[in-house]
Structure 1
Amino acid sequence: MVAESDRSPGLVSGVGRNRVPNRDRLYEIDALRIAAAVSVAIYHYVFSGYAGGAIRIGFPAGSELARFGYLGVDMFFLISGFVVLLSAWNRRPGAFLVSRIVRLYPAFWVAVTITALVSVTLSMGRYPVTLVQYLANLTMFNSLPDIPNIDVVYWTLWAEIRFYALVFVLAWIGITRSRVVGMLWGWLALTFLLQSGVLPAPAHSVADLVVQSQFSHYFIAGMALCLVYRFGLSAQLAAIVLISFGNAVYRGIEFAGKVGTRYRTEIESSVVVAVIVAIFIVLFLVSLRVTRRLGRPWFAVAGALTYPLYLIHAHVGFIVFDRLGGIVQRYVLLVGMVALMCLAAYVIHILVERPLAPLLKRLLTLAVRPDLRAAGWRRG
Structure 2
Amino acid sequence: MPPPSAHRKETAMRTRPERLYEIDGLRLLAALCVVLFHYVFSGWAGGKTTVTFVTESAWAKYGYLGVDLFFLISGFVVLMSAWGRTPRQFVVSRVVRLYPAYWVGIAVTALVTVTLGQGLFHVSLPQVLANLTMFQAVPNIENVDVVYWTLWAEMRFYLLMLVATWIGITRGRIMAGLWGWLALTFLVELGVLPGIADLVVQSEFSHYFIAGMALFMLYRFGMDWQIALLVPICLGNAVYRAIGYAEAVGTRYHVTYSPTVITAVVVAIFLIMTFVALRVTSRLARAWLVTAGALTYPLYLLHAHVGFILFARLEGLVNKYVLLVAMIVVMLAAAYLVHRFVERPLAPRLKRLLSKRQPAHAAAPAGSPTG
Q: What is the CA–CA distance in structure 2 between the aligned matches of 1:320 and 1:98, rounded to whole Å?
A: 35
Give yes or no for the alignment of 1:37 onto 2:31: yes
Give yes or no for the alignment of 1:131 onto 2:125: yes
Q: What is the CA–CA distance in structure 2 between the aligned matches of 1:198 and 1:167, rounded to whole Å?
A: 25
**Residue in structure 2 matched with residue 183 of structure 1 by the alignment:** 177
Give yes or no for the alignment of 1:317 onto 2:311: no
Letter in 2 for 1:233: M
Letter in 1 for 2:180: G
CA displacement at 1:156 relative to structure 2: 0.2
Q: What is the CA–CA distance in structure 1 between the aligned matches of 2:253 and 2:120, rounded to whole Å?
A: 19
| Structure 1 segments of 4+ aligned residues over 4 angstroms from their partners | 369-372
Q: What is the CA–CA distance in structure 1 between the aligned matches of 2:340 and 2:211, rounded to whole Å?
A: 33
Change (3 A) 1:289 1:371: closer
**Residue in structure 2 matched with residue 204 of structure 1 by the alignment:** 195
Letter in 2 for 1:321: F
**Residue in structure 1 matched with residue 71 of structure 2 by the alignment:** 77
TM-score, with structure 1 as normaliser: 0.90
CA displacement at 1:370 relative to structure 2: 8.5
**Residue in structure 2 matched with residue 9 of structure 1 by the alignment:** none
1:218-246 CA-to-partner distances (Å, cap 9, x unmatched) read 00000000100000011111111011000
Q: What is the CA–CA distance in structure 1 between the aligned matches of 2:148 and 2:131, rounded to whole Å?
A: 9
Q: What is the CA–CA distance in structure 2 between the aligned matches of 1:36 and 1:361, rounded to whole Å?
A: 28
Letter in 2 for 1:100: R
Q: What is the CA–CA distance in structure 2 between the aligned matches of 1:302 and 1:370, rounded to whole Å?
A: 32
**Residue in structure 1 matched with residue 147 of structure 2 by the alignment:** 153
CA displacement at 1:326 relative to structure 2: 1.4
Task: Please provide the CA RMSD for this pair.
Answer: 1.4
Give yes or no for the alignment of 1:359 onto 2:349: yes
CA displacement at 1:20 relative to structure 2: 3.6
Q: What is the CA–CA distance in structure 1 between the aligned matches of 2:209 and 2:17, rounded to whole Å?
A: 22
Give yes or no for the alignment of 1:166 onto 2:147: no
Aligned residues: 349
Match for 1:108 among 102, 106, 116?
102
Give yes or no for the alignment of 1:120 onto 2:114: yes
**Residue in structure 1 matched with residue 317 of structure 2 by the alignment:** 327
Letter in 2 for 1:217: H
CA displacement at 1:126 relative to structure 2: 2.0
**Residue in structure 2 matched with residue 377 of structure 1 by the alignment:** none
Q: What is the CA–CA distance in structure 2 between the aligned matches of 1:125 and 1:329, rounded to whole Å?
A: 24
Match for 1:277 among 247, 256, 267?
267
Match for 1:219 among 209, 214, 217?
209
Q: What is the CA–CA distance in structure 1 between the aligned matches of 2:331 and 2:129, rounded to whole Å?
A: 24
Q: What is the CA–CA distance in structure 1 between the aligned matches of 2:195 and 2:250, rounded to whole Å?
A: 26
> Which one has more relative contact order, counting CA pairs under 8 Å at least 6 apart?
2
Q: What is the CA–CA distance in structure 2 between the aligned matches of 1:249 and 1:61, rounded to whole Å?
A: 26
Where 1:339 maps in the other structure, the secondary structure is: helix
Letter in 2 for 1:124: Q
**Residue in structure 2 matched with residue 11 of structure 1 by the alignment:** none
Alignment of 1:212-291 (within 5 A): 212-291=202-281
Task: Give the gaps of 5 or more residues in structure 2.
Answer: 1-10, 361-371
CA displacement at 1:24 relative to structure 2: 2.1
Letter in 1 for 2:341: L
Q: What is the CA–CA distance in structure 2 between the aligned matches of 1:143 and 1:29, rounded to whole Å?
A: 29
Q: What is the CA–CA distance in structure 2 between the aligned matches of 1:233 and 1:339, rounded to whole Å?
A: 41
Where 2:143 maps in the other structure, the secondary structure is: coil
Percent identity at matched positions? 61
Letter in 1 for 2:110: A
Alignment of 1:358-377 (within 5 A): 358-366=348-356
